[in-house]
Structure formats: C-alpha cells, structure tokens
Structure 1
C-alpha cells in the first residue's frame, strides 16, 4: 500500500542539525561544555538537583546500582513487564532480579506487588514509569524508606510526565532516563542519571569516566599539567558534546511535544470509547503521563486476538507494536524462579501500542481507529 503510518517518528529538524554541526566545528566533540549544560538544564526540567549524562539509560541503571553497593547475594525487585534492560542491570552487578507483578491499569509495580515478593535479601527496587505512565511515587517512595531499601526509578520513557503535580524526577533518590529515538526527546543514543545528593552526583561522574578524580574536560581546560588518578575500577559511559548539543534543542521542544501527544491521546480515548473490548491507557488519579506509548488492552469481548490485530494493521500500512514485553518469558531469564505474574502476562499478551507522534494527523488517526472498529464488527 502507498499509505504508511509509523508507530513513532522522532522530532528532529534543522535546529538539531545546526547544533550538532556547531559542536563539530568547535573541535570539542567528546564530553565537554555542552554535556555540562545539558546536565544542568535537564535536571532543572525534571525537578532534580543534579544531572549526570551517560551513554544510555541502561548504563545509568547499572551505575545507580553500583553507587548503592548492590552486588552478589543481594536481591533487587523489578517488574518483568519492562524492556529487558531493567532486569539486565541487576545481573550486571551480580545481584538477583526478583520479578514483581504490576497494576492492570497503569502497567506499573505498586507497594503491594513489591511487598509480595520482598525478602530479607532485598536491597533495592527498580520501579519503572512504564511507557511514560508515572507510578505512585508518594506511596512507593514512602514504602521503600520504611523497608530500608534503595528505590531506583527507571524513568526511561518519562520525560515530561508528572506525579502529584511535580515532574516525576522531583523528590526521587535516583532516576535513570533514556534519549533513544523511541523516546519523546532523543540524542540518538544516550541517557541521564538524576540525583539530589551532590556527593552522589560527584561519584556518578567518576564512575562514568574510568574512575578518574578529574574529568577529561577539566584536564584539557587546565592551563597547567594535570596528573589524574584513578580512584576505583569504573566504566566508560560518557555522552558526547555532539549528542548533548542535540539534546539541548530537544529539551526545548519537550513541553510542546508532550502537550501535542496528550491531545492526540485524548482524541484516541474519545474515538475508542465506543468500541467494546478495547481499553485505552489513561492518566492515573495522581498524575499525568506524557503518552510516550499509547497502548490499548484487548479484552476477550473484542473477539479478535492482539496478534491478529497487529497483522491486519500491518497489512493496511499501519505500524503498531506488541505491548510491553515480559522479561520472565524471554530465553535470557528461562529457569529463574518467580512468583505467578498473571497481570504481567495478561498485559504482554493482550496489549498493543498504537501510532502516536508529531506527524500523526487526525486523518491518520481516523484511519487507524476505523480499522479497529471494522475488526470489532467482524
């Protein structure tokens, strides 16, 4: 078919191209002044005290666990319903991921689902703002404090989402963010860790740069020779100034992109309301999602399976995606013991992600919903 509707298109234009070219022309293409500025501005936008730019959200999650001393013998509660990187980060430090089930409406872990699998070996919880949907930050942060465990917030998809009237990064002990092209703002690849504790930010910056006691940028900026020291075994998880230049432009677009996505999502909800068996995602009572992903849960009353819907949409030029994956069903986690995860398995089997992006028109939306309505009539 001539018609082709993508599930997601990153918003990139001439401003990003110019910013990247300016970074290249400056001669400073590795981690440098643009990264430092991006860290400051992103932290401010997300309500956090400090930002530490990294090479991806995955490396950010890894550093968060290293920072808090999580290692062999420890357990970390995570949702299975998340991109596999969430669970993988736990294995990177030699700890054991323990899968918790999620809430059907939000796709997020709750105090109750975490508490159900928590043991005396639990040292941390990684809670995900899944698809941009904020989890109940007030409840889970309070519970984590009471349990005496570290709460790491996987905010990969959540830039621009809010909880209790604040950006989801506000008040978090530590959050990791993604700038992959599927996210609302992108640097191609790249991520950020945000914290309020300045000492934590200092160590995170050291951990991302081989454990050096002085950054490469500061060393090169010095007018005197600097002999650096390597204080601990660490990593190379840096972001480049080219990426940060693009990120700064993207950050300026964030509010507008979120507003546009919320308008499209509201229209989806209105159009889908009359189709039995389809339940679209909605804001929770305590916050607002950025609708990084707009997913629909298919009930048995719809009469057509999720995979059949995906196939029909693809045949008619619409790129949709299966719902959020479940890590415990992947070969990489075969054999890992876990409690039953009925809600996780329901969502991953019966949900799909519909197109939503800045080029998605009302006509496109009518076309997509028309196919869903036609399938329901069958």
Structure 2
C-alpha cells in the first residue's frame, strides 16, 4: 500500500527553469529576482510594501523591531501556534505573554487578548492559524486606541481572505512563510509586508547587516563605495534562487487554493457524517486556504486523538498532531506569564490532528483517508 503524505509541495519544470536562469545569470544572492518577487507579492496581497527575508521567523523579528518593541516590553501571543511566534519576542528582549484562542477557529480574539494585556504590552502577534483568517478588525479596535501594534503572523495565510481582501492587507505589518509546508514555497524564506514606508525601509536596512550600501549596489559598481554599519543588523536575506522559485509559485496560488478548497469541501461533507469529528471551516468574516486541514476528535469518537493517529499510520496515512502549545515546551515553560487561562489551547492541542491535504492529492487517496476514519466506527 502506498503512503499518503500529510503535505507535498507542488513544484515542477517551471521552477527548475527559473532556477536555471538565475544560475546562468551569475548572480544568485539577493538581487533583481528578490526585488521582482517583493513587487509581485505586494501586488497579490494588496500590501503597500514587501520585504523578503530568510524565513517567517526573521520577518516576525524584524516586524517587532520596526514596531518599536524593546527589552522589557510585553508581547501578547497565542500559545496555540508554532514555537516561532513565541520565540520572536524573546529575540527583542521582550516577554511573550500567552493568550488563549477561540475554540472554533483556533485564533486569538479581542476577548482573549484583553484578558492577557498588561501595563507593559507593546504589541500583539495575531496568527492566521492553519490559514484560518483571524478577525483583525476586532483586534485592532481593541489595540489601536491603546497604542498597541497588532502584528499579523500570516505564515499560513497566503490565499486566505478577510472581509473580501487578502489576509494581511489590513495590518500595519505582517509576516509570511514560504516553508515547504506552506502553499507558496521557496524552500525556506519569508516576507514582511507593511503599510508604513519607514518600517519597510528600516526592515530592508536591518535584514542586510544594517549596511549603508547594499551588496547588490556594491556589486553593480566597478569601484564599490565604502559601506558603513550604522547599527547591529542581521543576515536575514533571501537569495535570487529562492525568489525565482517564489515568483513561479505565486503564479500557482489561485489554482492551488481552488483545489485545496475543493478537497476541503469534500472532507467536510464526508466527515460531517462521522460522529465525534469536527473539521475546520471558514469563519464568518473570510475564506480559508486550508493550509492545514485539522479535525477535532471529540468524546463521541471511539478513539482518542493519538489512537486515531496510530490507526491512520497503520494504513500508511501520514497525519500529524494538531498545533502545539508553546507554553508546554521546555523553552517557554518558565516564561508562562499573564493572567489568562489557556484551557481552550490545551484542549485543542490534545484533541486535534491534521489530515493529508495538498494540491496533487488524488480523489482516490482522499477517499482512502475518509474510509480509514470510518472503519473506527463501532
């Protein structure tokens, strides 16, 4: 029996050709392809400025820095997220304060954020978890009057919409991921988008060691001007090789999202007939790209979450545990702060799993997954 993977990037001859062109050009570091990818991504996401980075984690770090987060500040984050969401504030010397999430969407809400605010809160990182759009307007209505910056962690969000626009379009600053698990991939890589030109300018400066002259500009000069390092910066650059892949991938986005939503609708229709399973769905304010198709295993199901994972694995179906709880991890266990209880986070972390869903998933393979879920019924 062939294995069904939980995720598989959609890469083809176009990406191979694009990489070949970059190699043939002789310029493979950050250069013209990166600039072209930034422009294309900004247009697709309706962002005013886009700054390519080495990862979403580095984009989050830069977003916090340009937003003015400093040592001693508090940053409210969901524990129900990949560890990078909680790690980024610590890079700034700030303290991640964990907030709980909504049971249905897995996202922060204005109510859960309000319960986690402290007098030192400088920013909130709101995640579009698994591609489910966060209710950004509600969060900004709470935070903007308090002078708290809402940073959208749109790592999983490319192709999702919020109130008729791409997610991230309404954020002052957002961070994106191009990891192979994401719908648009460059292998590794990320992007910062922002409505503020001064924030974009500073992010570009910081990502390249805070050099006064870019590497591309120095290379273009026969006699390179002397560079100056005006502050401590970082090596958070994307390469032209990655950007060339990203440009092709971005062109695939509408088709990928269409197919993923088609597969998600099929999953939802069939899983709704199985007692004890609750699949993820679109929220009232937007549409999901279903970057991750997660299912909650309830008390009416004959197996618990880990038992179901074992059952699926026995049939060569590779599912995954649901989103982690960062506050349970050794790296952050001693950092648990704030007054908020995390009951929903812990429940979802313990009861959810991610089913296989990717562009090339055959209908017959999806049927095999659903059948594996059905055979556990009494």
With normalisation by structure 2, the TM-score equals: 0.98
Q: Distance in 2 between matches of 1:61 and 1:336?
A: 19
Secondary structure of 1:28 counterpart: coil
Q: Distance in 2 between matches of 1:75 and 1:170?
A: 25
Secondary structure of 1:268 counterpart: helix
| 1:321 aligned partner | 320
| 1:173 aligned partner | 172
| 1:368 aligned partner | 369
1:109 aligns with 2:105: no
Q: Distance in 1 between matches of 2:300 and 2:236?
A: 48
1:51 aligns with 2:57: no
Secondary structure of 2:375 counterpart: helix
Residues 51 and 203, structure 2, Cα contact 8 Å, conserved in 1: yes
Written as runs of structure 1 = structure 2, the 5 A alignment for 1:1-150 is 2-150=1-149
Secondary structure of 1:302 counterpart: coil
Pairwise CA distance, 1:227: 1.8
| 2:333 aligned partner | 334
Q: Residues 343-362 of structure 1, C-alpha deviation per residue, up to 9 Å, x if partnerless?
A: 00010000000000112111
Pairwise CA distance, 1:147: 2.0
Q: Residues 170-225 of structure 1, C-alpha deviation per residue, up to 9 Å, x if partnerless?
A: 12100000000000010000000001111211111000001012211122223553
Gaps of 5+ in 2: none
Residues 98 and 116, structure 2, Cα contact 8 Å, conserved in 1: yes
Q: Distance in 1 between matches of 2:285 and 2:221?
A: 48
| 2:258 aligned partner | 259
Write out the 4+ residue segments of structure 1 that deviate beyond 3 Å after TM superposition.
222-225
Structure 1 residues 370 and 59, CA gap change in structure 2 (3 angstroms): same
| 1:236 aligned partner | 235
Gaps of 5+ in 1: none
Q: Distance in 1 between matches of 2:168 and 2:195?
A: 10
Residues 79 and 99, structure 2, Cα contact 8 Å, conserved in 1: yes
Q: Distance in 2 between matches of 1:223 and 1:251?
A: 35
- Bigger CA drift: 358-367 or 99-108? 358-367
1:354 aligns with 2:355: yes
Secondary structure of 2:5 counterpart: coil
Pairwise CA distance, 1:79: 0.1
Q: Distance in 1 between matches of 2:318 and 2:250?
A: 27
Q: Distance in 2 between matches of 1:248 and 1:349?
A: 38
1:279 aligns with 2:274: no
Q: Distance in 2 between matches of 1:333 and 1:200?
A: 29
Pairwise CA distance, 1:61: 0.5
Q: Distance in 2 between matches of 1:184 and 1:337?
A: 32
Q: Distance in 2 between matches of 1:221 and 1:361?
A: 48
Residues 206 and 234, structure 2, Cα contact 8 Å, conserved in 1: yes
Residues 100 and 342, structure 2, Cα contact 8 Å, conserved in 1: yes
Q: Distance in 1 between matches of 2:302 and 2:344?
A: 20
Q: Distance in 2 between matches of 1:143 and 1:52?
A: 27
| 1:297 aligned partner | 296
- Bigger CA drift: 16-25 or 209-218? 209-218
Pairwise CA distance, 1:232: 1.2
RMSD: 1.0
Secondary structure of 1:89 counterpart: helix
With normalisation by structure 1, the TM-score equals: 0.98
Residues 67 and 199, structure 2, Cα contact 8 Å, conserved in 1: no
Secondary structure of 1:375 counterpart: coil
Residues 56 and 189, structure 2, Cα contact 8 Å, conserved in 1: yes
Pairwise CA distance, 1:140: 1.2
- How many pairs align? 376
Residues 327 and 336, structure 2, Cα contact 8 Å, conserved in 1: no
